[in-house]
Structure 1
Amino acid sequence: MADPAREEFSDLIQRFIESLSGITDRLPFDLDRQKLRSITTFAALSVAIVFVLKLLRTPPEHQRRQQRPHNSASGPSSGRLRSNTGFPSSEVISSSGNSRVQDAVDEFFRPVNLTLEQHVRHQLNEGRKVTCQLLGIILEETSPEDLQKHATVRSSVREVLLEITKFCDVYLMERILDDESEERVILALNDAGLFTTGGLTSEKVLFCSTENGRSSFVRQLEPDWHIDTNPEIIHQLSRFIKYLLHISPKKSEGAVSSNVYSSSSVEQFFGCPEKS
Structure 2
Amino acid sequence: MAESSSSSKDEVFQLIKRFGAYLTVKMSNLFSLSFHNLDSRSVGAIAGLAVAIVFTWRLLRSPGGRQRRPPKRQAPGTSSSGVSTQTSPASLPSAALSPSEDLKAQNVVDEFFQPVKPTLGQIVRQKLSEGRKVTCRLVGVILEETSPEELQKQATVKSSVLEVLLEITKFCDLYLMERVLDDESEQRVLAALEDAGVFTSGGLVKDKVLFCSTENGRSSFVRQLEPDWHIDTNPEIVFQLARFIKYELHISPVRPERTAANVFSSPSLEQFFGTV
When normalised by structure 2's length, the TM-score is 0.66
Q: Is 1:13 aligned to residue 16 of structure 2? A: no
How many residues matched? 224
Q: Match of 1:157?
A: 161
CA distance in 2: counterparts of 1:192 and 1:9, whole angstroms = 56
Q: Is 2:268 the counterpart of 1:265?
A: yes
Q: Distance in 2 between matches of 1:51 and 1:265?
A: 49
User: In the alignment, residue 263 of structure 2 is paired with which amino acid?
Assistant: V
Aligned equivalents of 2:147 and 2:185: distance in 1?
11
Q: Please tell me whether Structure 1 or Structure 2 has the larger radius of gyration of its CA atoms.
A: 2
Matched residue, 1:196: 200
For residues 30-53 of structure 1, the C-alpha deviation after alignment (integer angstroms, 9 at most, x for no partner) is xxxxxxxxxxxxx9x958748979
The residue number in structure 2 matching 1:79 is none
Q: Distance in 2 between matches of 1:231 and 1:176?
A: 19
> Which residue is equivalent to 1:220?
224
Q: CA, structure 1 residues 109+150, in 2 after alignment: closer, same or farther (shift >3 Å)?
A: same
Tell me the equivalent position of 2:188.
Answer: 184
TM-fit CA distance, 1:142: 0.3
Q: Cα–Cα, structure 1 residues 122 and 254, in superposed 2: closer, same or farther, change >3 Å?
A: closer
Cα pair distance change 1:50/1:160, threshold 3 Å? farther
Q: Which residue of structure 2 lines up, in the alignment, with residue 209 of structure 1?
A: 213
Preserved CA contact (<8 Å) 2:18 2:105? no
The one-letter code matched in structure 1 to 2:152 is Q
CA distance in structure 2 between the aligned counterparts of 1:254 and 1:160, rounded to whole angstroms: 24
Partner residue of 2:257? Answer: 253
Whichever residue aligns with residue 269 of structure 1, its letter is: F
User: How much does 1:253 deviate?
Assistant: 2.9
| Kept after mapping to 2: 8 A contact 1:130/1:169 | yes
Return closer, same or farther for 1:20/1:193 CA change in 2, 3 Å cut-off: closer
Runs of at least 5 residues in structure 1 that lack an aligned partner in the other structure: 28-42, 54-81
Counterparts of residues 116-195 of structure 1 (less than 5 Å)? 116-195=120-199
What is the CA distance between 1:172 and its match in structure 2? 0.6
| Cα distance in structure 2, aligned partners of 1:51 and 1:254 | 51
Conserved 8 A contact 2:15-2:105: no
Which residue identity does 2:234 align to in structure 1? N
Task: Give CA deviations for 1:186-212 in whole Å, capped at 9, x if unaligned.
Answer: 221122222223322222111122222
Structure 2: gaps (5+ residues): 1-5, 33-46, 58-86
Q: Distance in 1 between matches of 2:121 and 2:270?
A: 12
Distance 1:46 1:95, change over 3 A: farther
- Report deviation, 1:152: 0.8
Which residue in the other structure is 1:40 paired with? none
* Mapped partners of 2:108, 2:186: distance in 1: 57
Q: 1:197, 1:19 → 2: CA distance?
A: 39
Q: Distance in 2 between matches of 1:255 and 1:114?
A: 31
Structure 1 residue 240 corresponds to structure 2 residue 244? yes
Which amino acid counterpart does residue 16 of structure 2 have in structure 1? Answer: F
Q: Deviations over 1:170-197 (max 9, x none)?
A: 1111112222212211221122222223
User: Percent same amino acid among aligned pairs?
Assistant: 62
Q: What is the distance in 2 between the residues matched to 1:88 and 1:178?
A: 88
**Is the 1:127–1:224 Cα contact (8 Å) retained in structure 2?**
yes
